[in-house]
Structure 1
Amino acid sequence: MNTSTNRIDQLPAQDGALVEGLYREHGTALFRFIAGLTGGDRQLAEDVVQETLLRAWKHAERLCAMESASIRPWLITVARRLVIDAHRARTARPRETDASALEVLPGPDEMSQALETMTVSDALDTLSPFHREALVETYLKGRTIAQASAHLGVPASTLKSRIYYASHAMRLALQERDQKEGPGR
């Protein structure tokens, strides 16, 4: 088909000859254009080419009135809009996950432990640096009073005092947090 002078109405619109002629003349260029838009997704590009040609067949009367030079831009516009619609449909729908991804999710006990760890960590952040390091060295690192006092370079009695006041401050911080969150926890 000579694209400069022929009109599409010279193709009979029956028995799929219109679609075959459009595919023969514009199919390769249309496929390349769509493949570029879809990031090389050949299956989607093929589907969009088919849908574009189906829409051309449905609008055969409109296309028959066009010059051949105007048909490719019309097809490209339809194809571009179909790619946009496909992208929107994919992003609007949540992706399906396979069973192996669900196995990686933490169980209720792990979630509860993670939440407790976050709560304790937040409460530790409210303490002074001296009180925080006293609790970290003794409770979290499991050091004895003698080991922790030697590591921190303070007398054991000072460390015991810091642990006492730090524990009291932690208790208050956690109670305050519970009151803010309410009974629905």
Structure 2
Amino acid sequence: MTSRDEHLVRALYAEHAAALWSFVVPLVDGDRARAQDVVQETMLRAWRRPEVLGQARGSVRPWLFTVARHLVIDEWRRHRTDRDVPLDAGAEVGADDGTDAVLDSWIVGDALARLSPQHRAVIEQCYFQGRTTADAAAVLGIPEGTVKSRAHYALRALRVALQEMGVTA
């Protein structure tokens, strides 16, 4: 850097640093160290762009403010996930309030309502009442083979009904 460039950078800093500092501090939520880093990086970028240093005094400040604002935005974008969940806190563990179970039973109930009464009766006996095929056959008054066949087709129909409702496995 020549003495002329050094003089221009010093003059630039003397003229604009305080205003730039005042602009940046609120952007970084009052973090003075981050604000100082942004101001220094902005001045460094101005020094690396000699065409900016040679501009008339009034036109340099908007360029500096724009660079500083972009630096803050870029930093925020890089670190926004760090702000979402602090690493030392870990992931939040939700409490089981039973909402999922209620919603699941509601969805299954709606899907069961789409089945034929015969299929619904077999599903209720075998899966909700926990009966064996022989016991379900005795309760329903149908052969055991019919219970097995209806259970098979009822489960297929239930799967299709759930898929039509937008439920995926």
Q: Normalising by the residue count of structure 2, what TM-score does the alignment of the two structures yield?
A: 0.52
* Deviation sequence 1:62-87 (CA, Å, 0-9, x none): 13421222221221122222223223
1:71 corresponds in structure 2 to: 60
Q: How far apart are the structure 2 equivalents of 1:42 and 1:98?
A: 23
Deviation at 1:55, TM superposition (A): 0.4
Question: For each residue in 1:7-40, what CA deviation from the matched residue of structure 2 results, as whole angstroms up to 9, or x when unmatched?
Answer: xx9x7324xx543332222111001112233443
Change (3 A) 1:18 1:123: same
- 1:179, distance to aligned residue in structure 2 (A): 7.6
Corresponding residue of 1:151? none
Structure 2 match to 1:105: 93
1:119 lines up with 2:116 in the alignment: no
2:17 aligned residue (24, 27, 48):
27
For residues 74 and 96 of structure 1, do their structure 2 counterparts lie closer, same or farther at Cα, with a shift above 3 Å needed? same
Unpaired segments ≥5 residues, structure 2: 114-120, 129-150
Counterpart position of 1:36: 26
Distance 1:39 1:93, change over 3 A: closer
The offset of 1:44, in angstroms, is: 3.0
Q: Give 1:48 shift.
A: 1.4
Shift, 1:88, TM fit: 3.0
Which structure has more RCO (C-alpha within 8 Å, separation ≥ 6)? Answer: 1
Q: 1:119 to 1:178 in 2, by over 3 A?
A: farther
Aligned to 1:55: 45
Identity %: 32
- State how far apart, in whole Å, the 2-side matches of 1:44 and 1:55 are: 16
Amino acid at match of 2:54: A
Equivalent residue for 2:4?
A: 12
Match of 1:149 in 2: none
Which amino acid is the alignment partner of residue 74 of structure 1? W
99 and 118 in structure 1: CA distance in 2 versus 1, 3 angstrom threshold: farther
Count residues in correspondence. 129
- Name the aligned partner's letter for residue 79 of structure 2: R
Code of the residue aligned with 1:21 in structure 2: it is A
Question: 1:21 and 1:76 mapped to 2: Cα distance?
Answer: 17
Q: CA-atom RMSD, angstroms?
A: 4.4
* Partner Cα separation in structure 2 for residue 65 and residue 18 of structure 1: 8
For residues 77 and 51 of structure 2, what CA distance do their matches in structure 1 show? Answer: 28
